[in-house]
Amino acid sequence: MAGTPGTWQQTAPATVSADPASGTFPTGYLILNVADGGLKRHAGAFSWEVQMGAGTSSKVGFHGAAPSAQRANADQAAATDLASVITLTNELRAALVEKGLIKGSA
């Protein structure tokens, strides 16, 4: 049959074990890197933008900041009395300051 063929559409991300560094990929092409758990979008010139992921290198931080680990210590325990409510409140405030969501010193 004569005519111009249609345009191919990606229906699922390509599964890879490393971000491609050669070849031809259209901008917006999606890959799922099984090594770092990242879903990435081709931004051109072999630049892969992280869309979401499970690995530390694939975490997306607030305002483009480096990802930070989950805070983990006894100050996050359930509040059962006034002293533990104050401790928990201070811990939550410190976490919000650390993330840059509120102003103040940590």
> What confidence tens digit (pLDDT) does each residue in 52-101 have?
665 656 555 554 455 566 666 665 667 788 888 888 888 888 888 887 78
Same domain, 56 and 16: yes
**Does residue 7 belong to any structural domain of this protein?**
no
Residue 5 lies in a domain: no
Q: Are residues 17 and 37 in the same domain?
A: yes
Provide the domain count of the chain.
Answer: 2
- The Cα–Cα gap between 44 and 8 comes to 18
Residue 2 placed within a domain: no
List the domain range (segments joined by +) for residue 46: 12-60
Q: Are residues 106 and 79 in the same domain?
A: yes
Separation CA 50–CA 65 (nearest Å): 13
Q: How would residue 6 be classed by pLDDT, with cut points 50, 70 and 90?
A: confident
Query: 56 and 75: one domain?
Result: no
Banded pLDDT at 103 (limits 50, 70, 90): confident
Handedness of CA 45, 50, 55, 60 (dihedral sign): positive
Q: Are residues 104 and 74 in the same domain?
A: yes
pLDDT band at 16 (very low <50, low <70, confident <90, very high): very high
Indicate if 51 and 78 belong to the same structural domain. Answer: no
**49 contacts: CB under 8 Å, gap ≥ 6:** 40, 41, 42, 43
Q: What is the pTM of this model?
A: 0.46
pLDDT of amino acid 46: 77
Residue 1 lies in a domain: no
pLDDT of residue 90: 86
Answer for the pair 41, 58: CB distance below 8 angstroms, yes or no.
no
